[in-house]
Amino acid sequence: MPREDFDIVFTTLDAVANLHPGFAYFAGLPGRLGMPDAERLRWMTTASATLWHELQTTTGFTCLPAGNTRHGADLWSNQPITCSRDLTALSLACDGVPAKVLSGLGVTVHGDIAIPDHRFARPSGIDTQPILNAGFEAREDRPYCAPNAIAQHGRSLMLVMRRRAWEHLSSAQRDAFMHTVGIHAPHPAFNETITWSTRRNPLPAHIANVRDRVTEAVVADLSTHDALTRRINESYFAALRILTA
């Protein structure tokens, strides 16, 4: 997640959701609670526009939409996922609601890890990292892929800036930021060039069902954070019900 002292960062909203759970809805929820990218952006800029502005004002952030990943969250691992027991053998780094859901499924989850990171330093001062045998990116040591295992839709990308930094910018500088972000949004799909052998196997249906139940429980807990989060929750699910009716 972003360090507490950051002024500007380009990131998915999952990371900022650690600072206020209201951002999780705009980031894109996992599983069947997710909303297609275009519909989520439409909800953000119409039905929930006032809530989106209030969330930024309340938390002291200015968030400039920079498109989305246009790709669901695949789970890449060093072994195939065929049963719940396989999940307990996995270790990965992520943030936000996906981290809570994966943790609920038995995966060992570490917050996003910077290198070097004092949180994982030995007393001798030698940096050490946890062994991560799974993640959302394709790597040669993670040849097994469960497509859209966590999310079926893309994640919202944002240029997130502390309000104090935004307010110090001139009108011309703000326009330049907004123009630059606009040029690069929406973010292109991830077209990874993979030169090693991979195996793509959908997440087993019984695990996907458990994932969705865990997601519902996690989101229900998030929605009680404060009055603003409850209102965002109500607005989001009202829009989702219309989409799925």
> In CATH, what number is assigned to the domain containing residue 79?
3.40.190.170
In a domain, 168, yes or no: yes
Containing structural domain, residue 59: 8-244
Give residue 119's pLDDT: 38
Give residue 130's pLDDT: 67
pTM of the model: 0.81
Angle at Cα 223 formed by Cα 12 and Cα 215, nearest 5°? 65
Give residue 181's pLDDT: 67
In a domain, 1, yes or no: no
* Average pLDDT per block of 10 residues along the chain, 245 residues long: 62 80 92 90 92 92 79 84 92 88 92 44 46 81 88 82 83 78 50 63 92 96 96 97 90
Residue type, 62: T
| pLDDT tens, position by position, 41-61 | 899 989 999 999 999 999 888
Give residue 139's pLDDT: 81
Give residue 94's pLDDT: 84
The CB density around residue 173, as the number of other CB atoms within 10 Å, is 11
Give residue 153's pLDDT: 84
Angle at Cα 140 formed by Cα 3 and Cα 36, nearest 5°? 60
In a domain, 37, yes or no: yes
Give residue 156's pLDDT: 80
| Pair 127, 117: CB distance under 8 Å | yes
**E strand or H helix at 93, and its extent?**
strand 91-93
Where does 60-102 show beta strands of DSSP type E? 61-68, 73-77, 91-93
Angle at Cα 73 formed by Cα 224 and Cα 39, nearest 5°? 65
In a domain, 161, yes or no: yes
In a domain, 2, yes or no: no
Give residue 117's pLDDT: 36
Task: Indicate the number of domains in the chain.
Answer: 1
